[in-house]
């Protein structure tokens, strides 16, 4: 199994694409990429819909033409196919705990930032949820989502006051999701890490200082 037969369809500005790019960099892999221009609506064009009917990036296409969508599915495929530098843990218990923490970060942090931005941007009117179906924005969701991000930050600070990394004593895929969430919240909804969150800032300096963070 080599990486040359793979293709990652992705977008430079997409936080979901960045979750996969950092994952690939941490595993020291080189995978050819194909840019999907979201600004031009290329995700809705027939060519991309044939690859991913949900019309979202990223998608990993295998050498035999199989398309794998959804960030955790792509990450798990890469972990199985290229076991070096494991990011999901190495035994059943560790894997379960990393899966649990990554999911909490995604549902409480990442998804909340996404919900806030999609329900407020004028350019996303009628497109409040990514995918093939159109949904109207709900303005009341914006404030509730921001409240969720604030609570996520508090919970993360409590967690990182007790352990070095999100899932425990080692860097994992849960740190990737958390890092992308913080950067996304800072940029998209002007919610940087709060001043007093010293444990999270210590963690942030460490994970954002890794070479993979530039991916």
- Residues lying near a copy of itself in the complex (CB under 8 A) are found at 54, 62, 66, 68-70, 72-74, 76-77, 80-81, 91-93, 95-97, 99-100, 103-104, 108, 128-129, 131-133, 135-136, 138, 140-141, 144, 147-148, 151, 155
Q: Considering the complex, what minimum distance in angstroms separates the CB of residue 105 from a copy of itself? A: 11
97 CB-contact burial (10 Å; exposed 0-12 / middle 13-18 / buried 19+):
middle
Q: Considering the complex, what minimum distance in angstroms separates the CB of residue 81 from a copy of itself? A: 5
Strands 59-61 and 7-10 come out as antiparallel
Q: Considering the complex, what minimum distance in angstroms separates the CB of residue 72 from a copy of itself? A: 6
Contacts of range 147-151, beta carbons closer than 8 Å, 24 or more positions apart? 148/108, 148/112, 148/115, 149/109, 149/112, 149/113, 149/116, 149/185, 149/189, 149/191, 150/191, 150/194, 151/108
42 or 77, CB closer to a copy of itself? 77
28 or 90, CB closer to a copy of itself? 90
Helix then strand then coil, in percent of the chain rounded to 5, is: 55, 10, 40
Separation of alpha carbons 19 and 24, rounded Å: 9
Q: Considering the complex, what minimum distance in angstroms separates the CB of residue 85 from a copy of itself? A: 16
2 or 208, CB closer to a copy of itself? 2
95 or 210, CB closer to a copy of itself? 95
Q: Considering the complex, what minimum distance in angstroms separates the CB of residue 151 from a copy of itself? A: 5
């Amino acid at each position: 199994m080599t990486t040359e037969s793979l293709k990652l369809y992705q977008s430079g500005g997409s936080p979901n694409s960045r979750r996969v790019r950092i994952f690939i960099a941490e595993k020291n892999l080189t995978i050819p990429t194909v840019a999907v221009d979201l600004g031009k609506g290329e995700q809705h064009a027939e060519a991309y819909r044939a690859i991913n009917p949900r019309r979202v990036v990223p998608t990993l296409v295998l050498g035999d033409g199989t398309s794998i969508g959804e960030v955790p599915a792509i990450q798990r495929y890469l972990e199985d196919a290229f076991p070096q530098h494991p990011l999901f843990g190495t035994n059943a218990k560790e894997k379960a705990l990393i899966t649990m923490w990554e999911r909490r970060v995604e549902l409480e942090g990442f998804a909340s930032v996404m919900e806030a931005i999609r329900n407020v941007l004028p350019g996303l009117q009628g497109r409040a949820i990514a995918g093939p179906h159109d949904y109207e924005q709900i303005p009341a969701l914006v404030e509730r989502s921001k409240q969720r991000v604030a609570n996520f930050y508090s919970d993360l600070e409590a967690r990182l006051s007790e352990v070095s990394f999100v899932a425990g004593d080692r860097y994992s895929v849960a740190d990737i999701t958390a890092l992308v969430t913080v950067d996304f919240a800072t940029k998209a909804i002007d919610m940087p890490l709060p001043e007093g969150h010293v444990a999270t800032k210590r963690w942030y300096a460490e994970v954002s200082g890794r070479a993979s963070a530039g991916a």
